[in-house]
Amino acid sequence: MAIDPVCGMEVDEATAEWKSEHMGKTFYFCAPGCKKTFDENPMKYMESDSHGGHQEEHHHH
Ligand SMILES: [Zn+2]
């Protein structure tokens, strides 16, 4: 299972209809809307890769 980086849902790579490649990694999405959201701002979702899937707001300094 892969995690949809936009909404956090589990997505089966084998049957995923929506996916995007970014920086050499493949991301899977549960719906076209999630893929679109990712495609519009992939960096926002790239950064949380090492945090176990948790989406955290960044602190502004
Ligand atoms: Zn989704």
pLDDT above 70 covers a percentage of the chain that reads 75
Does residue 9 fall inside a structural domain?
Answer: no
Is 9 a residue whose pLDDT tops 70?
A: yes
Q: State residue 19's pLDDT score.
A: 97
Determine the length of the chain.
61
Question: Which domain, by its residues, includes 46?
Answer: 27-51
Q: 37-49, pLDDT tens digit by residue? A: 999 999 999 875 5
Does residue 7 fall inside a structural domain?
Answer: no
Question: From ligand 1's centre to the CA of 29, what distance in Å?
Answer: 5
How far apart CA 59 and CA 40 sit, in angstroms, is: 22
Is 60 a residue whose pLDDT tops 80?
A: no
Question: From ligand 1's centre to the CA of 59, what distance in Å?
Answer: 25
Does residue 32 fall inside a structural domain?
Answer: yes
Does residue 41 fall inside a structural domain?
Answer: yes
Question: From ligand 1's centre to the CA of 6, what distance in Å?
Answer: 6
Number of domains in the chain: 1
Does residue 46 fall inside a structural domain?
Answer: yes
